[in-house]
Structure 1
Amino acid sequence: MVFYHAFYSMSEFFGFEIGTKLLDFFTPAEPFFAALFIVISGISSRLSHDNTKRGVRLLCIALALTVVTVVIMPMMNFEGAEIYFGILHLLSLSMLIFSALRAGLDKINPIVGFVLCIVIYILTYGVSAGFVGIAGLKTFALPAALYKTNYFMPLGFFNSSFHSADYFPLLPHLFMFLAGTFIGIYAANGRFPAFTYRRRSRALCFLGRHALVIYIAHQPVIFGILWVVEKIIAK
Protein backbone atom coordinates (compact mmCIF):
# COMPACT_ATOMS: atom_id res chain seq x y z
CA MET A 1 0.00 0.00 0.00
CA VAL A 2 2.96 2.31 0.57
CA PHE A 3 4.00 1.90 -3.06
CA TYR A 4 0.43 2.40 -4.27
CA HIS A 5 0.16 5.66 -2.33
CA ALA A 6 3.50 6.76 -3.74
CA PHE A 7 2.30 6.14 -7.29
CA TYR A 8 -1.01 7.89 -6.51
CA SER A 9 0.78 10.97 -5.19
CA MET A 10 3.16 11.03 -8.16
CA SER A 11 0.22 10.96 -10.54
CA GLU A 12 -2.51 12.98 -8.86
CA PHE A 13 -0.59 15.67 -6.97
CA PHE A 14 2.66 16.10 -8.88
CA GLY A 15 1.65 15.08 -12.40
CA PHE A 16 4.56 12.70 -12.99
CA GLU A 17 3.79 10.60 -16.06
CA ILE A 18 5.65 7.59 -14.72
CA GLY A 19 3.46 7.74 -11.62
CA THR A 20 0.32 7.63 -13.76
CA LYS A 21 1.57 4.59 -15.66
CA LEU A 22 2.51 2.76 -12.47
CA LEU A 23 -0.80 3.70 -10.85
CA ASP A 24 -2.77 2.37 -13.81
CA PHE A 25 -0.76 -0.85 -13.71
CA PHE A 26 -1.19 -1.53 -9.99
CA THR A 27 -4.74 -0.21 -9.45
CA PRO A 28 -6.44 -3.54 -10.33
CA ALA A 29 -4.49 -5.22 -7.51
CA GLU A 30 -5.22 -2.52 -4.91
CA PRO A 31 -8.53 -4.03 -3.66
CA PHE A 32 -6.79 -7.36 -3.02
CA PHE A 33 -4.01 -5.83 -0.92
CA ALA A 34 -6.50 -3.62 0.93
CA ALA A 35 -8.67 -6.65 1.74
CA LEU A 36 -5.59 -8.55 2.92
CA PHE A 37 -4.63 -5.64 5.16
CA ILE A 38 -8.14 -5.55 6.65
CA VAL A 39 -8.20 -9.32 7.23
CA ILE A 40 -4.81 -9.22 8.97
CA SER A 41 -6.11 -6.42 11.18
CA GLY A 42 -9.08 -8.59 12.07
CA ILE A 43 -6.80 -11.51 12.91
CA SER A 44 -4.67 -9.22 15.08
CA SER A 45 -7.76 -8.19 17.04
CA ARG A 46 -7.99 -11.73 18.38
CA LEU A 47 -4.45 -11.37 19.70
CA SER A 48 -5.05 -8.01 21.39
CA HIS A 49 -5.80 -7.61 25.09
CA ASP A 50 -7.81 -4.40 24.66
CA ASN A 51 -9.47 -3.70 21.32
CA THR A 52 -11.47 -0.84 22.79
CA LYS A 53 -8.30 1.02 23.71
CA ARG A 54 -6.74 0.25 20.33
CA GLY A 55 -9.88 1.36 18.53
CA VAL A 56 -10.17 4.66 20.38
CA ARG A 57 -6.49 5.45 19.87
CA LEU A 58 -6.66 4.64 16.17
CA LEU A 59 -9.87 6.66 15.78
CA CYS A 60 -8.13 9.71 17.25
CA ILE A 61 -5.31 9.25 14.74
CA ALA A 62 -7.81 8.85 11.90
CA LEU A 63 -9.64 12.04 12.90
CA ALA A 64 -6.32 13.88 13.08
CA LEU A 65 -5.58 12.65 9.57
CA THR A 66 -8.90 14.09 8.42
CA VAL A 67 -8.02 17.47 9.93
CA VAL A 68 -4.64 17.45 8.20
CA THR A 69 -6.00 16.49 4.78
CA VAL A 70 -9.19 18.56 4.90
CA VAL A 71 -7.93 21.71 6.62
CA ILE A 72 -4.14 21.95 6.59
CA MET A 73 -3.16 20.50 3.21
CA PRO A 74 -5.51 22.77 1.19
CA MET A 75 -3.82 25.72 2.91
CA MET A 76 -0.57 24.39 1.41
CA ASN A 77 -2.17 24.23 -2.06
CA PHE A 78 -2.61 20.46 -2.00
CA GLU A 79 -6.18 19.94 -3.18
CA GLY A 80 -8.00 16.65 -3.64
CA ALA A 81 -6.24 14.79 -0.82
CA GLU A 82 -9.13 15.07 1.63
CA ILE A 83 -9.75 11.88 3.60
CA TYR A 84 -13.11 11.78 5.34
CA PHE A 85 -13.38 8.05 5.96
CA GLY A 86 -10.29 6.12 4.99
CA ILE A 87 -8.93 2.78 6.03
CA LEU A 88 -7.83 4.02 9.46
CA HIS A 89 -11.37 5.22 10.20
CA LEU A 90 -12.67 1.84 9.07
CA LEU A 91 -10.24 -0.18 11.16
CA SER A 92 -10.77 1.91 14.29
CA LEU A 93 -14.56 1.58 14.18
CA SER A 94 -14.26 -2.09 13.26
CA MET A 95 -12.15 -2.68 16.36
CA LEU A 96 -14.71 -0.90 18.52
CA ILE A 97 -17.62 -2.78 16.96
CA PHE A 98 -15.81 -6.09 17.37
CA SER A 99 -15.04 -5.27 21.00
CA ALA A 100 -18.71 -4.47 21.65
CA LEU A 101 -19.99 -7.60 19.90
CA ARG A 102 -17.23 -10.00 20.89
CA ALA A 103 -19.24 -11.91 23.50
CA GLY A 104 -21.88 -12.73 20.91
CA LEU A 105 -19.42 -13.42 18.11
CA ASP A 106 -17.55 -15.88 20.33
CA LYS A 107 -20.64 -18.10 20.36
CA ILE A 108 -20.53 -18.54 16.58
CA ASN A 109 -18.60 -21.42 15.05
CA PRO A 110 -15.49 -19.85 13.43
CA ILE A 111 -16.03 -21.53 10.06
CA VAL A 112 -19.70 -20.56 9.98
CA GLY A 113 -18.83 -17.03 11.05
CA PHE A 114 -16.13 -16.67 8.42
CA VAL A 115 -18.35 -17.95 5.60
CA LEU A 116 -21.25 -15.77 6.73
CA CYS A 117 -19.05 -12.66 6.80
CA ILE A 118 -17.67 -13.35 3.32
CA VAL A 119 -21.20 -13.85 1.96
CA ILE A 120 -22.41 -10.59 3.51
CA TYR A 121 -19.28 -8.82 2.23
CA ILE A 122 -20.04 -9.97 -1.31
CA LEU A 123 -23.72 -9.07 -1.07
CA THR A 124 -23.01 -5.57 0.29
CA TYR A 125 -20.07 -4.79 -1.99
CA GLY A 126 -22.33 -2.70 -4.22
CA VAL A 127 -23.81 -0.52 -1.46
CA SER A 128 -21.79 2.50 -2.58
CA ALA A 129 -23.19 1.96 -6.09
CA GLY A 130 -26.76 1.84 -4.82
CA PHE A 131 -27.54 -1.86 -4.59
CA VAL A 132 -27.10 -5.09 -2.67
CA GLY A 133 -26.64 -8.45 -4.30
CA ILE A 134 -24.25 -9.74 -6.91
CA ALA A 135 -23.70 -7.58 -9.98
CA GLY A 136 -24.52 -9.47 -13.14
CA LEU A 137 -26.62 -12.03 -11.30
CA LYS A 138 -29.22 -10.56 -8.98
CA THR A 139 -29.31 -7.14 -7.35
CA PHE A 140 -31.77 -5.10 -5.34
CA ALA A 141 -31.75 -1.32 -5.54
CA LEU A 142 -31.47 0.52 -2.25
CA PRO A 143 -33.74 3.50 -1.46
CA ALA A 144 -32.57 6.66 -3.23
CA ALA A 145 -33.19 8.62 -0.03
CA LEU A 146 -30.09 7.01 1.48
CA TYR A 147 -27.94 8.76 -1.11
CA LYS A 148 -29.34 12.28 -0.85
CA THR A 149 -26.91 13.27 1.89
CA ASN A 150 -23.32 12.52 2.83
CA TYR A 151 -24.07 12.10 6.52
CA PHE A 152 -24.15 8.33 6.13
CA MET A 153 -20.95 8.07 4.09
CA PRO A 154 -19.25 5.98 6.84
CA LEU A 155 -21.76 3.27 5.95
CA GLY A 156 -21.31 3.64 2.19
CA PHE A 157 -24.18 6.02 1.37
CA PHE A 158 -23.21 9.31 -0.29
CA ASN A 159 -24.19 11.61 -3.13
CA SER A 160 -22.28 12.92 -6.14
CA SER A 161 -20.72 15.78 -4.15
CA PHE A 162 -18.74 13.43 -1.92
CA HIS A 163 -15.03 12.84 -2.45
CA SER A 164 -12.50 11.12 -0.24
CA ALA A 165 -9.00 10.34 -1.48
CA ASP A 166 -9.05 7.21 0.68
CA TYR A 167 -12.47 5.65 1.21
CA PHE A 168 -13.33 2.39 2.95
CA PRO A 169 -16.94 2.42 4.21
CA LEU A 170 -18.17 0.00 6.85
CA LEU A 171 -20.34 -1.66 4.21
CA PRO A 172 -18.91 -3.95 3.00
CA HIS A 173 -15.46 -3.77 4.62
CA LEU A 174 -16.54 -4.31 8.22
CA PHE A 175 -17.40 -7.88 7.28
CA MET A 176 -13.96 -8.52 5.81
CA PHE A 177 -12.54 -7.36 9.14
CA LEU A 178 -14.92 -9.64 11.05
CA ALA A 179 -13.98 -12.51 8.75
CA GLY A 180 -10.41 -11.92 9.87
CA THR A 181 -11.45 -12.09 13.53
CA PHE A 182 -12.86 -15.57 12.95
CA ILE A 183 -9.59 -16.64 11.33
CA GLY A 184 -7.85 -15.07 14.31
CA ILE A 185 -9.45 -17.61 16.64
CA TYR A 186 -7.21 -20.27 15.11
CA ALA A 187 -4.17 -18.00 15.40
CA ALA A 188 -4.89 -17.28 19.06
CA ASN A 189 -5.35 -20.99 19.79
CA GLY A 190 -2.02 -21.91 18.21
CA ARG A 191 -3.65 -23.74 15.32
CA PHE A 192 -1.81 -21.94 12.54
CA PRO A 193 1.16 -23.77 10.94
CA ALA A 194 4.17 -23.80 13.27
CA PHE A 195 6.33 -21.67 10.97
CA THR A 196 3.91 -18.73 11.34
CA TYR A 197 4.82 -18.42 15.01
CA ARG A 198 8.58 -18.35 14.52
CA ARG A 199 10.60 -15.18 14.29
CA ARG A 200 12.39 -15.56 10.97
CA SER A 201 13.13 -12.01 9.87
CA ARG A 202 14.00 -9.15 12.19
CA ALA A 203 13.16 -6.69 9.44
CA LEU A 204 9.67 -8.11 8.97
CA CYS A 205 9.13 -8.27 12.73
CA PHE A 206 10.12 -4.61 12.98
CA LEU A 207 7.69 -3.68 10.20
CA GLY A 208 4.93 -5.64 11.90
CA ARG A 209 5.45 -3.99 15.28
CA HIS A 210 5.57 -0.51 13.80
CA ALA A 211 3.02 -0.91 11.00
CA LEU A 212 0.80 1.93 12.24
CA VAL A 213 3.69 4.38 12.55
CA ILE A 214 4.91 3.45 9.10
CA TYR A 215 1.43 3.83 7.63
CA ILE A 216 0.96 7.27 9.17
CA ALA A 217 4.45 8.53 8.38
CA HIS A 218 4.87 7.22 4.86
CA GLN A 219 2.56 9.71 3.16
CA PRO A 220 4.21 12.91 4.43
CA VAL A 221 7.60 11.36 3.70
CA ILE A 222 6.49 10.55 0.16
CA PHE A 223 5.11 14.07 -0.27
CA GLY A 224 8.36 15.54 0.97
CA ILE A 225 10.49 13.47 -1.38
CA LEU A 226 8.27 14.19 -4.38
CA TRP A 227 8.20 17.90 -3.55
CA VAL A 228 12.01 17.99 -3.54
CA VAL A 229 12.14 16.02 -6.80
CA GLU A 230 9.65 18.41 -8.39
CA LYS A 231 11.71 21.42 -7.35
CA ILE A 232 14.88 19.85 -8.73
CA ILE A 233 13.21 19.02 -12.04
CA ALA A 234 11.75 22.52 -12.28
CA LYS A 235 15.20 24.14 -12.11
Structure 2
Amino acid sequence: MVTADPRHITTPSAPRVVALDIARSAAIVAMIVYHFTFDLELFGYLAPGTTTLPGPWRTLAIVTAGSFLFLAGVSLWMAHGAGLRWGAFWARFAKVAGAAALVTLATYFAFPDAFVFFGILHSIALCSLLGLAVLRVPWPLILVLAALVFFAPDFAKSNAFNAPYFWWTGLQTISLRTVDYEPIFPWFAPFLVGLALAKLADRAGLWTRLATPDPSRSLRLLSLPGRYSLILYLIHQPILIGLIWVATQLIR
Protein backbone atom coordinates (compact mmCIF):
# COMPACT_ATOMS: atom_id res chain seq x y z
CA MET A 1 0.00 0.00 0.00
CA VAL A 2 1.29 3.45 -0.89
CA THR A 3 1.37 5.76 2.10
CA ALA A 4 1.51 9.51 2.22
CA ASP A 5 4.91 11.05 1.54
CA PRO A 6 6.55 11.36 5.00
CA ARG A 7 8.04 14.68 3.95
CA HIS A 8 4.55 16.02 3.32
CA ILE A 9 3.42 14.94 6.76
CA THR A 10 6.35 15.77 9.00
CA THR A 11 8.10 18.71 7.35
CA PRO A 12 6.58 22.15 7.93
CA SER A 13 7.93 23.48 4.62
CA ALA A 14 6.48 20.62 2.57
CA PRO A 15 3.83 21.41 -0.05
CA ARG A 16 0.36 21.81 1.43
CA VAL A 17 -2.81 20.38 -0.06
CA VAL A 18 -4.59 23.70 -0.41
CA ALA A 19 -7.70 21.97 -1.77
CA LEU A 20 -8.36 20.57 1.72
CA ASP A 21 -8.06 24.00 3.29
CA ILE A 22 -10.48 25.39 0.70
CA ALA A 23 -12.90 22.57 1.50
CA ARG A 24 -12.69 23.53 5.18
CA SER A 25 -13.26 27.17 4.20
CA ALA A 26 -16.44 26.15 2.38
CA ALA A 27 -17.63 24.25 5.45
CA ILE A 28 -16.89 27.29 7.64
CA VAL A 29 -18.90 29.57 5.32
CA ALA A 30 -21.83 27.14 5.33
CA MET A 31 -21.69 26.98 9.13
CA ILE A 32 -21.68 30.77 9.48
CA VAL A 33 -24.60 31.12 7.07
CA TYR A 34 -26.60 28.52 9.01
CA HIS A 35 -25.80 29.99 12.41
CA PHE A 36 -26.61 33.52 11.22
CA THR A 37 -30.03 32.24 10.16
CA PHE A 38 -30.38 30.39 13.48
CA ASP A 39 -29.56 33.59 15.36
CA LEU A 40 -32.12 35.55 13.35
CA GLU A 41 -34.68 32.97 14.39
CA LEU A 42 -33.46 33.24 17.99
CA PHE A 43 -34.04 37.01 17.95
CA GLY A 44 -37.50 36.58 16.46
CA TYR A 45 -36.77 37.77 12.92
CA LEU A 46 -37.67 34.37 11.46
CA ALA A 47 -40.48 31.97 12.29
CA PRO A 48 -39.80 29.41 15.06
CA GLY A 49 -38.52 26.14 13.63
CA THR A 50 -37.07 27.71 10.47
CA THR A 51 -33.64 26.18 11.06
CA THR A 52 -34.54 23.16 13.19
CA LEU A 53 -37.51 21.55 11.48
CA PRO A 54 -37.04 19.39 8.34
CA GLY A 55 -36.30 21.61 5.37
CA PRO A 56 -33.44 23.29 3.51
CA TRP A 57 -31.87 24.90 6.56
CA ARG A 58 -31.89 21.68 8.55
CA THR A 59 -30.40 19.91 5.53
CA LEU A 60 -27.65 22.53 5.37
CA ALA A 61 -26.85 21.92 9.04
CA ILE A 62 -26.57 18.16 8.52
CA VAL A 63 -24.42 18.47 5.39
CA THR A 64 -22.14 21.01 7.08
CA ALA A 65 -21.61 18.87 10.17
CA GLY A 66 -20.98 15.84 7.99
CA SER A 67 -18.44 17.82 5.98
CA PHE A 68 -16.49 18.77 9.10
CA LEU A 69 -16.36 15.16 10.26
CA PHE A 70 -15.46 13.89 6.77
CA LEU A 71 -12.57 16.36 6.58
CA ALA A 72 -11.46 15.40 10.10
CA GLY A 73 -11.19 11.80 8.90
CA VAL A 74 -9.15 12.90 5.89
CA SER A 75 -6.92 14.98 8.14
CA LEU A 76 -6.24 12.07 10.48
CA TRP A 77 -4.79 10.08 7.58
CA MET A 78 -2.90 13.04 6.14
CA ALA A 79 -1.28 13.74 9.50
CA HIS A 80 -0.58 10.19 10.66
CA GLY A 81 -0.82 7.90 7.65
CA ALA A 82 2.96 7.57 7.37
CA GLY A 83 3.27 6.89 11.09
CA LEU A 84 1.62 8.08 14.27
CA ARG A 85 3.13 11.27 15.66
CA TRP A 86 1.83 11.05 19.20
CA GLY A 87 2.98 14.50 20.27
CA ALA A 88 1.19 16.20 17.39
CA PHE A 89 -1.89 14.03 17.85
CA TRP A 90 -2.31 14.77 21.54
CA ALA A 91 -1.62 18.47 21.04
CA ARG A 92 -4.37 18.67 18.43
CA PHE A 93 -6.70 16.51 20.52
CA ALA A 94 -6.19 18.77 23.55
CA LYS A 95 -7.06 21.85 21.46
CA VAL A 96 -10.26 20.31 20.09
CA ALA A 97 -11.33 18.80 23.41
CA GLY A 98 -10.57 22.06 25.22
CA ALA A 99 -12.59 24.01 22.67
CA ALA A 100 -15.44 21.54 23.09
CA ALA A 101 -15.38 22.12 26.84
CA LEU A 102 -15.55 25.89 26.26
CA VAL A 103 -18.59 25.42 24.02
CA THR A 104 -20.29 23.32 26.68
CA LEU A 105 -19.58 25.93 29.35
CA ALA A 106 -20.68 28.89 27.23
CA THR A 107 -23.89 27.26 26.03
CA TYR A 108 -24.72 26.09 29.54
CA PHE A 109 -24.99 29.74 30.57
CA ALA A 110 -26.66 30.84 27.32
CA PHE A 111 -29.06 27.89 26.92
CA PRO A 112 -29.21 26.04 30.25
CA ASP A 113 -32.10 23.86 29.07
CA ALA A 114 -30.47 22.98 25.73
CA PHE A 115 -26.73 23.38 26.18
CA VAL A 116 -24.22 21.54 23.98
CA PHE A 117 -23.01 18.45 25.82
CA PHE A 118 -21.89 16.51 22.73
CA GLY A 119 -21.66 18.76 19.70
CA ILE A 120 -19.47 18.75 16.62
CA LEU A 121 -16.20 19.44 18.47
CA HIS A 122 -16.90 16.73 21.03
CA SER A 123 -17.64 14.36 18.17
CA ILE A 124 -14.48 15.25 16.25
CA ALA A 125 -12.36 14.71 19.37
CA LEU A 126 -13.81 11.27 20.14
CA CYS A 127 -13.88 10.23 16.48
CA SER A 128 -10.19 11.07 16.22
CA LEU A 129 -9.45 8.75 19.13
CA LEU A 130 -11.59 5.97 17.71
CA GLY A 131 -10.11 6.53 14.28
CA LEU A 132 -6.67 5.51 15.55
CA ALA A 133 -8.03 1.99 16.07
CA VAL A 134 -8.83 1.60 12.36
CA LEU A 135 -6.02 3.70 10.88
CA ARG A 136 -4.29 0.61 9.42
CA VAL A 137 -7.48 -1.24 8.44
CA PRO A 138 -7.92 -1.63 4.63
CA TRP A 139 -10.09 1.15 3.23
CA PRO A 140 -12.90 -1.14 1.93
CA LEU A 141 -13.40 -2.53 5.43
CA ILE A 142 -13.48 0.99 6.86
CA LEU A 143 -16.31 1.82 4.44
CA VAL A 144 -18.20 -1.29 5.61
CA LEU A 145 -17.72 -0.15 9.21
CA ALA A 146 -18.98 3.31 8.24
CA ALA A 147 -22.18 1.78 6.87
CA LEU A 148 -22.70 -0.19 10.08
CA VAL A 149 -22.16 2.92 12.18
CA PHE A 150 -24.54 4.95 10.05
CA PHE A 151 -27.39 2.45 10.29
CA ALA A 152 -26.75 1.46 13.93
CA PRO A 153 -29.45 3.80 15.31
CA ASP A 154 -32.00 1.93 13.19
CA PHE A 155 -31.40 -1.41 14.91
CA ALA A 156 -29.31 -0.87 18.06
CA LYS A 157 -31.29 1.72 20.03
CA SER A 158 -32.15 0.55 23.54
CA ASN A 159 -33.45 1.82 26.84
CA ALA A 160 -30.10 0.68 28.25
CA PHE A 161 -28.55 3.81 26.68
CA ASN A 162 -31.01 6.26 28.23
CA ALA A 163 -28.71 7.20 31.12
CA PRO A 164 -26.98 10.58 30.51
CA TYR A 165 -23.50 9.04 30.48
CA PHE A 166 -24.50 7.05 27.34
CA TRP A 167 -25.92 9.97 25.37
CA TRP A 168 -22.67 10.36 23.43
CA THR A 169 -23.59 7.12 21.63
CA GLY A 170 -26.86 8.37 20.12
CA LEU A 171 -28.48 5.00 20.86
CA GLN A 172 -30.88 6.18 23.56
CA THR A 173 -34.63 5.91 23.00
CA ILE A 174 -35.53 9.24 24.62
CA SER A 175 -35.56 12.67 23.00
CA LEU A 176 -32.84 15.11 24.05
CA ARG A 177 -32.95 18.90 24.11
CA THR A 178 -29.71 20.49 22.87
CA VAL A 179 -28.78 23.08 20.24
CA ASP A 180 -26.03 20.92 18.74
CA TYR A 181 -25.81 17.14 18.86
CA GLU A 182 -23.59 14.82 16.80
CA PRO A 183 -23.34 11.49 18.66
CA ILE A 184 -21.00 8.73 17.53
CA PHE A 185 -23.87 6.78 15.96
CA PRO A 186 -24.34 7.82 13.19
CA TRP A 187 -21.80 10.70 13.01
CA PHE A 188 -18.68 8.54 13.19
CA ALA A 189 -19.72 7.35 9.71
CA PRO A 190 -18.67 10.47 7.72
CA PHE A 191 -15.39 10.52 9.65
CA LEU A 192 -14.72 6.93 8.63
CA VAL A 193 -15.66 7.65 5.01
CA GLY A 194 -13.18 10.55 5.00
CA LEU A 195 -10.47 8.32 6.44
CA ALA A 196 -11.15 5.53 3.94
CA LEU A 197 -11.23 7.82 0.91
CA ALA A 198 -8.07 9.58 2.07
CA LYS A 199 -6.31 6.21 2.13
CA LEU A 200 -7.67 5.38 -1.32
CA ALA A 201 -6.58 8.77 -2.65
CA ASP A 202 -3.13 8.17 -1.19
CA ARG A 203 -2.90 4.84 -2.98
CA ALA A 204 -3.84 6.58 -6.25
CA GLY A 205 -1.27 9.32 -5.70
CA LEU A 206 -3.94 12.02 -5.58
CA TRP A 207 -2.44 13.93 -2.67
CA THR A 208 0.87 14.28 -4.48
CA ARG A 209 -0.91 15.71 -7.52
CA LEU A 210 -2.98 18.08 -5.39
CA ALA A 211 -0.04 19.36 -3.35
CA THR A 212 0.44 23.06 -4.02
CA PRO A 213 3.99 24.21 -3.16
CA ASP A 214 3.35 27.79 -4.31
CA PRO A 215 -0.38 28.56 -4.43
CA SER A 216 -1.65 31.69 -6.12
CA ARG A 217 -2.86 34.65 -4.08
CA SER A 218 -6.50 33.78 -4.78
CA LEU A 219 -6.00 30.21 -3.59
CA ARG A 220 -4.28 31.44 -0.44
CA LEU A 221 -7.19 33.75 0.30
CA LEU A 222 -9.74 30.99 -0.29
CA SER A 223 -7.83 28.61 1.95
CA LEU A 224 -7.24 31.08 4.80
CA PRO A 225 -10.46 30.42 6.75
CA GLY A 226 -9.85 26.68 6.49
CA ARG A 227 -6.44 27.02 8.10
CA TYR A 228 -8.00 28.67 11.15
CA SER A 229 -11.24 26.72 11.30
CA LEU A 230 -11.12 26.00 15.04
CA ILE A 231 -10.62 29.66 15.98
CA LEU A 232 -13.38 30.75 13.60
CA TYR A 233 -15.70 28.13 15.05
CA LEU A 234 -15.19 29.51 18.54
CA ILE A 235 -15.55 33.21 17.76
CA HIS A 236 -18.13 33.39 15.00
CA GLN A 237 -21.24 32.96 17.15
CA PRO A 238 -20.38 35.64 19.73
CA ILE A 239 -19.68 38.02 16.82
CA LEU A 240 -22.89 37.16 14.98
CA ILE A 241 -25.05 37.40 18.07
CA GLY A 242 -23.38 40.67 19.04
CA LEU A 243 -24.00 42.18 15.60
CA ILE A 244 -27.65 41.14 15.57
CA TRP A 245 -28.13 42.47 19.10
CA VAL A 246 -26.62 45.83 18.16
CA ALA A 247 -28.74 46.01 15.01
CA THR A 248 -31.82 45.18 17.07
CA GLN A 249 -31.11 48.01 19.49
CA LEU A 250 -30.57 50.47 16.64
CA ILE A 251 -33.83 49.72 14.84
CA ARG A 252 -36.03 49.77 17.92
**TM-score, with length taken from structure 1:** 0.77
How many Å apart are 1:60 and its aligned residue? 1.3
Which residue in the other structure is 2:20 paired with? none
Quick check: 1:73 aligned with 2:110?
A: yes
* Runs of at least 5 residues in structure 2 that lack an aligned partner in the other structure: 1-30, 80-84
- Amino acid aligned to 1:26: W
Question: 1:120/1:22 Cα in 2 relative to 1: closer, same or farther (>3 Å)?
Answer: closer
Which residue in the other structure is 1:122 paired with? 150
Distance 2:235 2:160 in 1: 39
- Of 164, 168, 174, 1:154 maps to 168
Cα deviations across residues 95-127 of structure 1 (Å, max 9, x unaligned)?
Answer: 12223x15xx31x222x1342133213322xx2
Distance 1:190 1:18 in 2: 48
Which residue in the other structure is 1:54 paired with? 92
Distance 2:235 2:74 in 1: 23
Distance 2:44 2:175 in 1: 24
SS state at 2:164 partner? coil
Which residue in the other structure is 1:222 paired with? 240
- C-alpha contact (below 8 Å) 1:58/1:88 kept by paired residues: yes
- Amino acid aligned to 1:116: V
- Amino acid aligned to 2:147: V
How many Å apart are 1:176 and its aligned residue? 1.9
Cα deviations across residues 163-211 of structure 1 (Å, max 9, x unaligned)?
Answer: 1100000111113212211222245567227663233511122112111
- C-alpha contact (below 8 Å) 1:83/1:165 kept by paired residues: yes
Distance 1:190 1:207 in 2: 28
How many Å apart are 1:144 and its aligned residue? 2.4
Which residue in the other structure is 1:41 paired with? 72
**TM-score, with length taken from structure 2:** 0.72
How many Å apart are 1:22 and its aligned residue? 7.1
- C-alpha contact (below 8 Å) 1:59/1:92 kept by paired residues: yes
SS state at 2:194 partner? helix
Distance 1:61 1:144 in 2: 31
Question: 1:203/1:37 Cα in 2 relative to 1: closer, same or farther (>3 Å)?
Answer: same
Q: Larger relative CO (CA 8 A, sep 6+): 1 or 2?
A: 2
- C-alpha contact (below 8 Å) 1:35/1:176 kept by paired residues: yes
Quick check: 1:205 aligned with 2:223?
A: yes
Distance 2:172 2:182 in 1: 12
How many Å apart are 1:84 and its aligned residue? 0.8
Which residue in the other structure is 2:7 paired with? none
Distance 2:90 2:148 in 1: 24
Distance 1:66 1:217 in 2: 14
Which residue in the other structure is 1:94 paired with? 127
Question: 1:118/1:42 Cα in 2 relative to 1: closer, same or farther (>3 Å)?
Answer: same
Identity %: 23
CA RMSD in angstroms, aligned pairs only: 2.6
* Runs of at least 5 residues in structure 1 that lack an aligned partner in the other structure: 133-140
Question: 1:26/1:73 Cα in 2 relative to 1: closer, same or farther (>3 Å)?
Answer: closer
Question: 1:115/1:19 Cα in 2 relative to 1: closer, same or farther (>3 Å)?
Answer: same
